Amino acid sequence: MFRWFHRLASLRNFYRLAEILMPWLAVLCAGLLAVGLYRGLFVAPADYEQGESYRIIYVHVPSAWMSMFIYMVIAFCSALFLVWKMKIADIVAEVSAPIGAAFTFLALLTGSLWGKPMWGTWWEWDARLTSELILLFIYFGYMALRSAIDNPSTAARAVAILALVGVVNIPIIHYSVEWWNTLHQPASITKIGKPSIHISMLIPLLLMALGFTLFYVVNMLARARNVILQREAKTSWVRERVSEGRL
């Protein structure tokens, strides 16, 4: 297991693995998103309280999940980099940040679109909304700090520490609806016991969540391959691939 993990940490091996996985994952991602959207928008019944407006959850909820999941990936990779100096961990964290920020923004945007008809306002300084907004600022701070430091190794260590400090916001986002009085509805899927969402609505939501996850993975792998090529431009294996036109 450790030997496999060590081999995966090689930039060359990671590049090759990404090259193999990306086409298959992209096709699976497109299929899941297509089926999930179709079932969510046209097959799932209208909600008895919210009517048709609830259907925005098929974009909003997976976006919110991904905003937290991607940040946890960044924090995990940051820990790997600080402890074992794994270059690929730093690269994965670097390329994940813009994707995570985009999902966070999408979660906030779709939440506002849902909040207007449900709450009567585009924005409320609700505990869940505020902590999600803070997450967006943490993403921005992470990217800004990396860009502000000229020395790559120093920048990598600085943003890794920032990512680990900022991870404290993730449980705040998750448990905010339980810790404080909030307009945001409590968990309806991950709570203990049966989810309070009907199976006909739950299935497309889970399909969308998996599709969004694969969307992140495919984009992360594509961006990571570009960064690897930039960092390894002077190595023999990159020059060999360039000469053969296999980039």
Q: What is the pLDDT along the chain (247 residues), one digit of tens a residue?
A: 556 666 667 999 999 999 999 999 999 999 999 999 999 999 999 888 788 888 999 999 999 999 999 999 999 999 999 999 999 999 999 999 999 999 999 999 999 998 888 778 888 888 889 999 999 999 999 999 999 999 999 999 999 999 999 999 999 998 887 776 665 666 655 544 556 688 999 999 999 999 999 999 999 999 999 999 999 999 999 998 888 877 7
Structure tokens at 87: 């270059």
Nearest to 139 by CA among 96, 86, 192: 96
The residue with tokens 């399909």 is 207
Q: Which two tokens stand for residue 212?
A: 């969004």
Asked if 26 and 218 count as a contact pair (C-beta separation under 8 A), the reply is yes
The two tokens of residue 143 are 């990217």
pLDDT score for 134? 97
Q: At 25, list the tokens.
A: 């994952």
Distance in angstroms (rounded) separating the CA atoms of residues 66 and 207 = 13
Per-residue DSSP letters for the chain? -HHHHHHHTSHHHHHHHHHHHHHHHHHHHHHHHHHHHHIIIIISPPBTTTBGGGGGHHHHHHHHHHHHHHHHHHHHHHHHHHHH--HHHHHHHHHHHHHHHHHHHHHHHHHHHHHHHHHSSS----HHHHHHHHHHHHHHHHHHHHHH-SSHHHHHHHHHHHHHHHTTHHHHHHHHHHHS--SS---SSSSSSS-SS-HHHHHHHHHHHHHHHHHHHHHHHHHHHHHHHHHTTTSHHHHHHHHHT--
Which of 66, 169, 63 lies closest to 114, judged by CA? 63
- Residue 91 contacts residue 224 (beta carbons within 8 Å): yes
CA atoms of 99 and 14, how far apart (whole Å): 19
Q: Looking at residue 192, what is its pLDDT?
A: 43
Q: Model pTM? A: 0.93
